[in-house]
Structure formats: C-alpha cells, structure tokens
Chains A and B, each alone.
Chain A
Amino acid sequence: MNALLVICGLGVFSLIAEILNFKKWLITIVFLGLFAAVVLVALEFGTSTSRFSEMLLFDNFSLAFVGLISVITLLWFWMADDYFRLHPHITDRTAMVLFTVVGAMIMSSFNNMAMLFLGIEILSISLYVLAGSHKESLFSTEAAFKYFLMGSFATGFLLMGIALTYGATGSFQVTKIAAKLAGHGSDLPYFFYAGVLLMLAGLAFKISAVPFHFWAPDVYEGSPTAITALMSTVVKIAAIAAFYRIFSMCFSSVHSTWAGALQVIAVLTLVVANVTAVNQNSVKRMLAYSSVGHVGYILIAFVSNDGAAAGTIFYYLAAYAIASLAAFTILSSLEKNQQLITVENFNGLFRKKPLMALGMTIALLSLAGIPPLPGFFGKYMVFALAIENGYIGLVILAVITSLIGVYYYFRILIAMYFKESHEEEGIDSPSVNLLIFLLIVMTIGLGIFPDSLLNLVQ
C-alpha cells in the first residue's frame, strides 16, 4: 500500500518538477523513491491489509508482484537513461512512466472489478502516450495509434464482461463474487458465462495471448526501445497478475466455463508465436513474438492447476523480466539512431564488446530455458505442474516449441560469435556496462537459488 502511495507521489512530483526547476535531480529522486518503495514492500511483507472499502487487497501475492514491479522499474530507469536524457519533456515522460507503474500496481492488488478497470486504464492511457513519444517518427505514431485503437476495443470487451458479471452476481467485489459462485454454482443466469468469456477475451488482449496478439509485434517494433522494454516487463507482469487474480481467485469455482477456451488459447499462443518468431529479422519483432510465446508457457501452468500456479508464475515472470530487460538494454545501446535493428547488427559483438555479448548470451540462454539459468527453472516448474496434473500432451507441445525457441534465440548467438562485422566500435558506457553486469549476476543468482523467490508467493 505504502509503495503505491510513494509511486503516486513521485508521479505528481515529476509533473510539477518542471515548474520547481527540479529537472536535474528528477531521475535521482525517482531512483530514491523506487528504492523506498521496494523497502516498504519488504517491510509490509507477510501482512494482509485491505484499503478503500476493501477495493484494494494487499496480500502476499500482490505484495510480491508490487515488489517485483518496483525492482524491475528501478532497473528500467537505469536502462532507459538515454531515453530521458536525449529527448525533451523529461518531466512528462517520467510522470507517464510512473503512472504506468501505478496502474500496474493496482492491477496486481485489486479486489474490486472497478479497481481492475481503473488500473488497466491508468496503465494503458499512459502507455498509449509513451508509445507515441517519438513524435517525429512515423513508426512511433503508428504504434501509439494501433495500440490505442486495439486497446480501447479490448477494454470494451472487459467492461461488458464486468457489467454482465455484476448483473449476475450483484457485486463488484472479487471476494464476494467468489463466495457467491462457490455457494450457487448451478443457478447462475446464462449471461454470467458470457460475461466470464468476455473478460477472458479482454484480458487475453492485455497479456497478448493468441489470437488477441496482433497489436504486439507492431507496437513493440514501433515504440521507442525503452518503452518496448517497459511493455514487455512491467506491463506484462501486471497483466498476468490481473489475469491470475480474476481467474484464479474469483472465477476458480466456474473453472469449466473458461478452462477449455484457455487451453485452446495456450496452445495457439505457444505454436503461433514461436513459429512466427522464426522468420523475423527485426530483433524487436522477434522479442515481441518471444514475449507472446512466454505467455503461452505461463498459461500452461494456469491451465494445469490455477490454484497452485502462483509461485510458478511469479518465478517465471521474474526470470523472464530480468532476461528481457538485459536483452533490451543491449539492444538499445546497439541501436544508436537506427529505426530497425536486425540480427545482422549483432555480428561480431563478441570481439567488439565481450561483456555485452556475455550479457546477451546469458539473457538468451535464460529465455531459451537452458539450465542452470532461471528461465530453465521457470519452464521446468511449468512442465512439472502440467505433468503432475496429467497434461502430458501440452508438455510435449511445449517441449517442441521450446526447441523452436532455441532456434530463433540462437540466431543472435551465432551472429555474435561467428559472423564478422565491419562496423566501427562504439564507445562503452560504464553505466550500461555496470547494469549489464548486475543483470548477469541477478540472472545467475536467481538460477542458482530459485528458492529465494519461489517461497514468496506460495
């Protein structure tokens, strides 16, 4: 709770920083604020409080996610240094990012459908603006526009779903709806089920699951790289958290309504995303499809056993977020002023910048799920959960898509270690190198001691 207030305060503060002439110190203050947020979450951990007439519920699940979001945002601000330094309107951008984070935190701690909607809208509206924040670039504008159109459409679905659920159960409160569903499983009006499926569609859009993923590649590619990194880490974590809270905590007792549809979505997500990623030459598009593909693995955990999946999903997301943050850090430092980063841009990186190559290698190996990196343990737990619950077919499919994943991730590895490059060497930024080093240490640490995170949510 306190973390949420701190971030809100930071957002408002950065809006007025322009007037107060605090621009120089803004990023430092944001760092301190985020750090304070992490500490506050750690202090609150283990308690469970509801606020605002029980509209927000801070239990261990939401605190763990809020903590993860704060840590990733902290690292993100470090990574996105250029994005703020090289462009005007630093205060507006900072505020927008902070409001995105506020939305993300609400999405992982709501206990009321209205709060869910508010959280999603706070997050999305800020993101629409951020996606278009390279005003002079057509791609950026296009990304913002596409994102906005598709996003509002999905919000419509979600709102309709919430309305129908309210009509059927007479409440917006997640806990009350859950209690009501557990009580009268059978005598619900038929439009309740339509409501559940509409919410499934709306949220599937937010987590970019196939077939609601069409916006993702274009938006990821067109947005400024720093914003793409934000989307594929913080926003993804929040969307999955919201998905989990709704379907596991609220609609768990009507499992049969959505499980079949979700299983189809999971299979489609795995297959379509991984197969499409193979032919992408633009690295940002490839990472976009890969990020869609990872949602597929998370959904398998969800399909297998939504009650026991919280720890697995949390760990998977943490592993995924750190690895993709590392990948985007390296991507954005290679990018300079090009619009399009292709696999060829990575040629010969091992000789030119060994640390970056190492960072990218570890990030890609983790994303591909090679032990002993955290990506492996994430996938392992998904597989184990599915096998335990008898979904062997899904596991075999996931094994095959993992192999396809290796194929496209390793294209970048091969470019880095094998291909020659004729480009001149860029300058090394100590701050970026330090961040890459830190991310490598975090990745390996998370892989060797997975217990540290696993027990947070259980």
Chain B
Amino acid sequence: MTVFLIFFPLFVSLVLFVLRPANAKVWALAGSLVELIGSLVVVASFVTNHDYQFVVNVPWVTSLGLHFAVGIDGISLLLVLLTTVLVPLIILSSFKTEYHKPATFYGLILMMQMALIGVFTSLDGLLFYLFWEVALIPIYFICLIWGGEDRGRITLKFFIYTLAGSLFMLVALVYLYYQTPGLHTFEIQALYQAGRDLPPAQQSILFWALFVAFAIKMPVFPFHTWQPDTYTVAPTPGTMLLSGIMLKMGIYGMIRWLLPVVPLGVKEWGLTAVIISVIGIVYASCIAIIQKDFKRLIAYSSIAHVGLIAAGALTLSPIGVQGAMIQMLSHGIIVFGLFYIIEIIFERTQTHRLANLGGIRNVAPILATVFVIVMLGSVALPLTSGFVGEFLLINSLFHYQPLLGAIAGLTIILGAVYMLKTFQKTMSGEVNNTTMDFGDLTNHEKLVLYPVIVLIVLIGVYPTPLLNISASAVANLLNIYSNFSATGQ
C-alpha cells in the first residue's frame, strides 16, 4: 500500500509528461483523488499502535547499503493524510488559471507529491535523503517556469540555500552509517542506536548538522531569508505546496530523524534551539505586522507559526510533539485557505497590496465570512483547528520554561494583531475603485473553500481521532528521553 501511495502519483505524472493531454488538470485531479482514496484505505486499515505498518523492504543498491524501506506509523500517517488531502485541493484551486504547458505543470505537482509521501514514509536514512532532495526539483521548476518577476535569482537562492542544508544532513547521515556495527546499514533503528551510542561531543555536532538542514527547510529564524521572496514569487499552487506541505518536511525530519538519533545532543543544545525558534516567532510576527503585501504577510506569519511548532517539538514532551503533529495538519489546511483567498482577491483586483484593497465585505459577503473563519483558525480561536495545536504547543513550552512559554504565547496576540489588521484593510471599510466590481465566490471557489472550513472546524471541535493516530508512535519515539531521566543520565 505504501508503495502504491508513493508510485501512483509518479505514474500519473509520467503519463502526463508522455501523453501531454490537453485537459491535463482533469487527469491530475483524478489521479490525486485516487491517491486520496488510497490514503483513506490506509487510515481505515491502520492499527493504532506504535509499529510501522504496510512495511516494504527490498534492497536497492546493495553496495551502498541502500534499501527501499518504507512504512507508515502514526506520525507518518498524519502527514501522508495531509499531503493526499491538500494536493487535490491545490490542483482543484488552480483550475481557473490557464498555465502554459499544463501537462508539465501538473506532472511536476504530482511528482512533488510522490517525493513528499516518500519523505514521510522512508525507513532508510539514504532513501529519506533521496526523497528529500527529489522533492526540491519539481518545486524549483514550478517556481522557475511559472513564477513571477525576478524568479531566476530568487529561486536559485532558494535552491542553493536548501541544498546547502541538506548536504550537511547527508554528511551527518553518512557519518552515522559508518557508526553502525558490522555490515553498515541505513536502517532507521540501526541509525538510532548508532547515534545514541556516540559520545556527547559528537552528538552535538551531528545535532547541528541535522538541525540546520531541517531549520532551513521550515524555515526557522535565522535561516528564513529565502522564504518570503520565494513564497511571493512562486505561482500560487507552488506557494501552497511550499507552505502547506513542504515546510512540514522540516518538522517531520526533526521529529523522526533528529530527536531520536542524538538524544544527548538534543539535551545539550535543545534549549538553544528552542530559544532561536521563539525569537523567530516574535521576530516574524513583528515583521508580518508591518507588511504591505498580502502574500508576504502570510509568508512571515508562516515563519511565526512554524517557529512555534519547532519549539514545541523540541520540548521533548509528548504534549509538545503531539501539538506539533496536530498543528502541522491545521497549519497546512489554514495556510492553503489563506493563499487561495489571496489568489481569489488577486485574480479580481490584480493586486497584493493591502492599501489598494478594502470594502470587500460589502460586495462579497460569502468570501468575507470564509475569510473570517480561516483567519480565526489562524489566530487559534477555540473550536478551530488552530487552537488545539497552539494550545498544546504553548502548554508544553510553558512546562519546559515558563518565560519562554509566555513569550511564545505572544504569537497568539501578535497573530491576532496582523490578521485582524489584514481583515480590516481588505474586507471592511468602503469599497474603492479596485474592489468596486468585486464578484462573490463562484461555485468552483466554494467547492475548494468549503472543505477547508469544514476541516478547520471539525479538527477544532473533535481532534481526538487524529491525536489518537499519532499518540503511541510519539510516546514510543520519546521513550529514549524518559529512559534517560529514569537512569539519571
């Protein structure tokens, strides 16, 4: 089943590349819906415990110790689900825009989906790295070919920046590989064991090599400088892929490939990393407040949210990691909704500048209502999905370090400031020349946005099933730390 989930999108994308059908978007949507059904089948047959399920393990390159080993546990499953839910929505949301060379465009999106699912299910260090890199190529070309002004320079910066991080991760993984006993292997449990047996000094170095790779991908302050430009210049589906799913690769990587691998390194440097993340939250929120461009504003808000997720996960408490899991889902859905609303506004007014907008509520009440709901999710109002995640995360931070928890709590207040300000500038007030002829949501747009709203509210009201999926896997992952405190290390 895992193999199907990984290779089916690749298959569809190859079909698109070769046949180049005129209605490529329909093919892509159909393919991604089949993928969604596949993932729902996985959810239905998933047994809630901490084991990897649907495991496939075949040797690929024996001389390099590379195995094609994939499997799904609770942590993977949530992210696989996020990917398979968002990709059809992203494809559907792009239906109105006519992209030139549509077969290539949608083929690349599906290729991206293949790599993302691969990242979330790999149980082999080198395989994980391969998928991690492969995910970069389609998104790079999506941004380069269909992006906005000055994209050549900006996307190159994005590519080199993220590649730099991941190459150091590769060095760290290879180093771990040579620490495994006997015939070396990249098998995940063997790497965990090899990492744990290392002396603290080496674990610290490995911690930074891995952390920087993940921090760049998320991005966490101060590794975020590629992000606002790239989000702004990317075509909207690209921005959605980047912010909705791809940044979760960084957090997933941290939970799966950092925390269990170098526990002593995390003990040593975890606090520093948390402080960096918390600084990033405040810093990005403040910048978001003064942004004049709608898309950039959401880009910075994304840095703030992801900083909180990273900080929560690094507290090493089950609440924190669980909060990170649920907030990853919630953030993915909300940020998709926000970028789609931006796209709708842009399509009608040709501007991202907040100053040019206003009064949309008067002409498009349904859009305004949808925007309110998504926005409330973003500022973590109770009964929205954002609340569950942020509450758990801030709670865990507060237990970890009350002062840091308090500072991180600012994220909700600052978030409310910039989101409400945005609402005020776009939706309320009087209509002006730009927004005069603004039409309300079409049926097609409703079809995309209503599921988003339903998901936001549903997860907010009843998050337990989702939390249950990952609970035992998270507990198992953090076992190593409770063992540490038990033995007094």
Contact = CB atoms under 8 A, between A and B. Distances in A.
Interface of A: 311, 350, 365, 370-372, 376-377, 380-381, 383-384, 387-388, 392, 395-396, 399, 402-403, 406-407, 410, 413-414, 417-419, 449-451, 454-455, 458
A418 B159 contact: no
A377 to B, nearest CB: 7
Contacts of A372: 130, 134
B151 interface: yes
B144 A417 contact: yes
- Tell me if A's interface is mostly helix, strand, loop or mixed: helix
B161 to A, nearest CB: 9
Contacts of A413: 144
Contact of B160 (A365, A376, A383, A406): A406
Given A370-B163, A414-B144, 7 more contacts: A371-B133, A380-B64, A399-B164, A407-B160, A418-B152, A451-B63, A455-B63
13 contacts: A370-B136, A370-B163, A383-B171, A387-B174, A392-B175, A396-B171, A399-B164, A403-B167, A406-B160, A414-B155, A417-B144, A450-B64, A451-B62
Interface string B124-147: 000001100110110001001100
B178 interface: yes
Nearest to A418: B152
A381 B64 CA distance: 8
Contact of B145 (A406, A418, A458): A418
B137 A403 contact: no
A413 B130 CA distance: 21
B168 interface: yes
A387 B160 CA distance: 23
Contacts of B152: 414, 418-419
Contacts of A458: 63
A29 B164 CA distance: 49
Nearest to A400: B164
B133 A387 contact: no
B61 interface: yes
A372 B131 CA distance: 9
A350 B170 CA distance: 32
A311 B262 CA distance: 32
B156 interface: yes
Given A450-B64, A451-B63, A410 B159 contact: yes
Interface of B: 61-64, 129-130, 133-134, 136-137, 141, 144-145, 151-152, 155-156, 159-160, 163-164, 167-168, 170-171, 174-175, 177-178
A387 B129 CA distance: 17
- Tell me if B's interface is mostly helix, strand, loop or mixed: helix
A402 B145 contact: no
Contacts of B64: 377, 380-381, 384, 450, 454
A375 B168 CA distance: 18
Nearest to A315: B63
B105 to A, nearest CB: 12
A410 B163 CA distance: 13
Given A377-B64, A414-B144, A417-B141, A383 B170 contact: yes
A15 to B, nearest CB: 43
A419 B151 CA distance: 10
A384 B174 contact: yes
B415 to A, nearest CB: 35
Contact of A407 (B144, B145, B156, B171): B156
Contacts of A406: 159-160, 163
B63 A418 contact: no
With a 10 A CB-CB cut-off, give which of A311, A395, A419, A455 has the most chain B CB atoms: A395
B140 to A, nearest CB: 9
Contacts of A388: 178
Contacts of A371: 129-130, 133-134
B145 A403 contact: no
A380 B170 contact: yes
Contacts of A399: 164, 167-168, 171
A387 B159 contact: no
A333 B145 CA distance: 24
Contact of A311 (B63, B145, B171): B63
B130 A387 contact: no
Nearest to A450: B61
Nearest to A372: B130
Contact of A402 (B167, B174, B177, B178): B167
Given A372-B130, A383-B174, A418-B144, A451 B151 contact: no
B151 A418 contact: yes
B171 A370 contact: no
Contact of A350 (B130, B145, B167, B177): B145
A403 B158 CA distance: 12
A380 B65 CA distance: 12
Nearest to A383: B174
Nearest to B205: A392
A229 B4 CA distance: 42
Contact of B178 (A387, A410, A418): A387
Contacts of B168: 399
A458 B156 CA distance: 38
A296 B168 CA distance: 19
Given A372-B130, A403-B167, A365 B63 contact: no
A163 B251 CA distance: 62
A395 B178 CA distance: 15
Contacts of B177: 384
Contacts of A419: 152
Contacts of A450: 61, 63-64
B142 to A, nearest CB: 11
A345 B237 CA distance: 31
Nearest to A448: B60
Nearest to A410: B156
B163 A395 contact: no
Contacts of B170: 380, 383
A109 to B, nearest CB: 24
Contacts of B151: 418
Given A370-B137, A413-B144, A418-B151, A387 B63 contact: no
